[in-house]
Structure 1
């Protein structure tokens, strides 16, 4: 049997497949839900930060970010009563698209060795800063700093191969989180923190036109395009210096 060359495209495909399998199937393993729990919280953070940062891009105030122990979350923003329907719809769309944007960026970063450690350190810093400024829930205060410390230690101490795999795993986690919440995208309303509120696609429908399921399909198509493009680019690179040791 021919051995896969370190840094080859075959090895990169294998690593990405392993990352995807871990993301999708880890919850099915014994105690898998406990193993994946911190990453479920991180996926919620990706989503809610997407809402909050989109609000900031439109000139509104990102007030706070709540993450519940169930893994659901809420990003609260303040905006004037006369805020445009378009901006409200884009803030709603920022949540589902946020993880795909971050996931695509991490997958792209995994293509170049010089970005591997800086990407993990940057993500660790962003998690830390966002926790201080916006996170206002006990679950977020406990889990997010622990993840930030873990990422910083990984970037500092781990071998290049493990750093790269961490980037690919986190990239696939973020990228696939939308697809793992497939049912939520096709709901018009959802129960978040004990409150029945409009889902993201329901909010887009309320502010623009066409039914919520149309916007669910549009968001999925956009996310698929972003992720596919990032994977295509990452798999073109040679991945030199990517040994596990």
Structure 2
């Protein structure tokens, strides 16, 4: 066991945990790409949708817009409804940040979760805060029945783990949630590289930043994988 871990730090530090996280990530990513796969891991599918759409909505709020509601549909898709008068803060760049927040916001936050798992107290705090925030999001923004039901249940489970679970479970769960956030980009991999009548996130970015949508799809994919690998490496092997 690395000297990094003591009574105040991460106690679950073994190759089995890392192997399990990687296996779950691969299994989740593969299931999302095959017919019926999203249904098999339905709660994770809707969680990834929540990650994605909340990132869009929160970026709008940060840039001065109005995040009206978040819709999560039974088929696993979703949409963040928002509006703004005039232009967002930073203008066209602000629009790019909103479009990019959906696919890139969750991997950035997910990497933060994984790094936070190095400290038990921080892991616990994040679980509690995340659980509460998910409940708040249901009250303020989520406006579909399936979204309200599943996100509420997931938030209560996460909150319960943060408050009552063993240290080992808390650490693994925060890492698991971090991994799921990092790979949420691949929930609809085809969408990431599709033009979709000019309405996909990457197509909207391409309209403003000129380079083709597939370039931004490749960049987002590489960035997401990099964040996942580097955060796991630092959590498990950095001294």
| CA distance 1:18–1:228, change in 2 (3 Å) | closer
Equivalent residue of 2:41, what SS? helix
Q: Which residue of 2 aligns with 1:101?
A: 108
Does the C-alpha gap of structure 1 residues 210 and 63 become closer, same or farther in structure 2, counting only changes over 3 Å?
same
Match of 2:164 in 1: 157
Q: Does 1:60 align with 2:61?
A: no
Shifted more, 55-64 versus 227-236: the winner is 227-236
Cα offset, 1:186, TM superposition: 0.4
What pairs up with 1:31-42 in 2 under 5 angstroms? Answer: 34=39, 36-42=41-47
Q: Which residue of 1 aligns with 2:97?
A: 90
Structure 1 residues 20 and 90: alpha-carbon distance in aligned structure 2, compared to 1, 3 A threshold? same
**Structure 1 residue 151: Cα displacement:** 1.0
Contact 1:101 / 1:175 at 8 angstroms: preserved in 2?
A: yes
The verdict on how the C-alpha distance between 1:115 and 1:15 changes in structure 2, with shifts beyond 3 A counting, is farther
TM-aligned CA deviation for residue 51 of structure 1? 0.4
Any idea what the Cα deviations from partners look like across 1:97-141, whole Å, max 9, x if unmatched? 122122112111222222222121111011011111111111111
The equivalent of 1:205 in structure 2 is 206
Distance 1:105 1:213 in 2: 27
Task: Output the aligned Cα RMSD.
Answer: 2.5
Shift of 1:17: 2.6
Match of 1:236 in 2: 237
TM-score normalised per structure 2: 0.84
For residues 238 and 143 of structure 2, what CA distance do their matches in structure 1 show?
41
TM-score scaled by length of structure 1: 0.82
Cα drift, residue 237 of structure 1: 5.5
1:135-164 alpha-carbon deviations (Å, 9 max, x no partner): 111111111111111111222232221222
Q: Which residue of 2 aligns with 1:70?
A: 75
Note closer, same or farther for the CA distance 1:170–1:22 as it changes in structure 2 (3 Å cut).
farther
Aligned to 1:139: 146
The gaps in structure 2 that reach 5 residues or longer are 1-10
Contact (CA 8 Å) 2:12, 2:168: kept in 1 or not?
Answer: no
- Who is 1:17 aligned against? 22
Asked if 2 retains the 8 angstrom alpha-carbon contact of 1:19 and 1:168, the reply is no
Number of positions where the alignment pairs a residue of Structure 1 with one of Structure 2: 226
- Counterpart contact for 2:67–2:83, Cα < 8 Å: yes
